[in-house]
Amino acid sequence: MLKCKGVTHLLSESLDRKLTLKERLSLKFHLAMCGACSTYSKQMALLKCACDAYRISKHKD
């Protein structure tokens, strides 16, 4: 059973590789049930968004 700490690892890895179907399903299931992890995943999405924006700012005139 996937626990919150494991969720943080899977969410990080999801930014670097395609998760397996089993991983995606257990992640989805956990996030649906766990408000704290769901909030955490939104924080990670914001962080990713910031990194992308920062990188792209170096590509534009």
The site for another protein (CB under 8 A) is made up of 3-6, 8-9, 12-13, 15-17, 36-37, 39-40, 42-47, 49-51, 53-55, 58-61
For 7, phi and psi rounded to 5 degrees? -60, -40
What is the closest distance, in whole angstroms, from the C-beta atom of residue 50 to another protein in the complex? 6
What is the closest distance, in whole angstroms, from the C-beta atom of residue 12 to another protein in the complex? 4
Dihedral over Cα of 47, 34, 24, 10: its sign: positive
Q: Half-sphere exposure of 37 toward its Cβ, with a 13 Å CA cutoff?
A: 20
What is the closest distance, in whole angstroms, from the C-beta atom of residue 60 to another protein in the complex? 6
